[in-house]
Chain A
């Protein structure tokens, strides 16, 4: 259940090719996240899997069956939309019941599934309210409830947390991950937020301009980014990328080192620089350091109690084992 395979899938809108032919395998029970900047095609890819858009080429297989020509209703998938897409004229109960009604399920079975979904999502008190009377987080849960009761082969999430405020987002992230552990159903999740990707995914698919840049587990992408794009996209704050003579010294066109892999000293180190803006978070401090000969300022993470200020001299030493090297084409050098 829930095994999805895309073979040579291509999508064009008129003359514009949005997704050149790509292959992707999603295993049963996996939590796969499509991540990438705006316009990279991640939502389009999701909608192709859902059947809301037709492919221009290639095949989509769901559990071994060719689903490319099947309409969305027949694919056995459930989708949670970014704007929740709840039916405004129906109560929460009726919203959740709708897919079951369409499937012709008998009344008692419908009730059973609705009650169970409501209980697991803390919606039991709201079953008779209308979406207009609910908060953003509650609406989100109703949308999820509507998907759960269908007991689909896979769940599709289209940037579900984008419309929530920051605090709510963190809570819902945990709830969705929890849901995945409980149901063990395949989940395909689209987001532009790499933090969501890193914390929730079993497997991350990084996309740019319709092309898959890299597929791997979160730690895989963190430790071994295949190219400059993935290196700069995954990890927050961004990896420092340095070109020029310093990179040449390491036999590369560009080297990268993450802010958390650089140690800081007031007396000595590999690179000497001046402290620019510093961001004190209490738990950590992030220094933006200008170093002579390096184009951009570097971002460095240090402990919360380091006492350096704007204009101070600082010495940075990168961990040599954790320096990433990239060639002229931006690809990783082993």
Chain B
């Protein structure tokens, strides 16, 4: 609306949206606060916690001592990065071929690939579990890297395909007219233009792999458990542990919250398979 919007309505909207937004965000804010309290303080009444208790970082240390937090953190890192980059290796040529050498079957192949993502993981839980057991892949990071790569491959291919398609064909034709060979065209024109799209794809997939909570819970034990499984181990009651849970949670979700901030648009593109623009 290009009309002057009254400041009053703007303020009203801000208050309403701000309140609702704050309520949505509150749990995250709350654990960020509890992470810096002692266990004893963490179970007091909320207002008491806010105003009557002191701050401490003891919970962070306790988490690490209790269960080698950093090992699980590095497992998450390895699994997310590993599955994403392995996926890229396979997805880039595929997406390139489908975007630039379209054939009659391209659309069907693409749709088929997307459909594999709609398979409920529980439908193949048994065979994957048994196969992993028999090949010694249970509780291994490599096994998890492979599984997560497979479930995210359709999304990586899809996103790269859409980004490649957005490169105007005329620019590639201009490069051809300028005397560029196929190799020159890919190296000097295509790749630099595709880098933002690839970065977005990488970001989104790291997020999806980091938060994956089916295979990571069922295929790992002490060794390869990433943060999802690590946090799940807090579900057995251990007496007072709010502060530790908060500290562990904050450390587990912080990297992804930051990445998520940058990935909103990519989220829409990647997870709606282009059905929404």
Give A residues with C-beta under 8 Å from B: 50-52, 71-73, 77-79, 81-83, 85-89, 98-99, 102-103, 146, 150
Contacts and interface: CB of A to CB of B under 8 A. Distances in A.
Contacts of B175: 87, 98
Interface in B146-192: 168, 170-171, 173-181, 184, 188-189, 192
Complex A-B, nearest 6 residue pairs according to Cβ-Cβ distance, in ascending order: A99-B178, A102-B179, A85-B174, A85-B170, A73-B179, A89-B192
B174 A79 contact: yes
B130 interface: no
A50 B170 contact: no
B192 to A, nearest CB: 4
A81 B193 contact: no
A51 B181 CA distance: 14
B171 A72 contact: no
A89 B195 CA distance: 11
7 contacts: A51-B177, A52-B173, A72-B173, A88-B193, A89-B193, A102-B178, A102-B180
Given A98-B175, A98-B188, A73 B170 contact: no
Where chain B touches its partner, the secondary structure class is helix
Contact of B179 (A86, A89, A103): A103
Contacts of A77: 177
Contact of B177 (A72, A82, A88, A89): A72
Nearest to A52: B173
Nearest to B193: A89
Nearest to B171: A85
A81 B170 contact: yes
Contacts of A73: 176-181
Contacts of A71: 176
Given A73-B176, A98-B180, A102-B179, 16 more contacts: A50-B177, A52-B176, A71-B176, A73-B180, A77-B177, A79-B173, A83-B168, A85-B168, A85-B170, A85-B174, A86-B174, A87-B171, A87-B175, A98-B178, A102-B178, A103-B179
Contacts of A50: 177
SS class of chain A's interface: helix, strand, loop or mixed? loop
The listed residue with most A CB atoms (<10 A of its CB), out of B174, B175, B176, B181, is: B174
Given A87-B171, A89-B193, A146 B178 contact: yes
A72 B170 CA distance: 13
Interface in B108-150: none
Nearest to A146: B178
B182 to A, nearest CB: 10
Contacts of B173: 52, 72, 79, 81, 85
Contacts of B176: 52, 71-73
Contacts of A99: 178-179
B103 to A, nearest CB: 14
A99 B178 CA distance: 5
A114 to B, nearest CB: 14
Contacts of B180: 73, 98, 102
A333 B203 CA distance: 71
B223 to A, nearest CB: 44
B75 to A, nearest CB: 37
A87 B193 CA distance: 9
Contacts of B171: 85-88
B185 to A, nearest CB: 10
Contacts of B193: 87-89
Contacts of A82: 170
A87 B179 contact: no
Contacts of A103: 179
B188 A52 contact: no
Contacts of B189: 87
Nearest to B196: A89
B191 to A, nearest CB: 10
Nearest to A78: B177
A102 B184 contact: yes
Nearest to A50: B177
A85 B172 CA distance: 8
Nearest to B195: A89
Which residue among B177, B179, B180, B189 has the maximum number of chain A CB atoms within 10 Å of its CB? B177
A102 B185 CA distance: 10
A313 B59 CA distance: 99
A88 B170 CA distance: 12
A150 B174 CA distance: 13
A145 to B, nearest CB: 12
> For A51, A89, A103, which residue has the most chain B Cβ atoms within 10 angstroms?
A89
A34 B181 CA distance: 29
Contacts of B178: 73, 98-99, 102, 146, 150
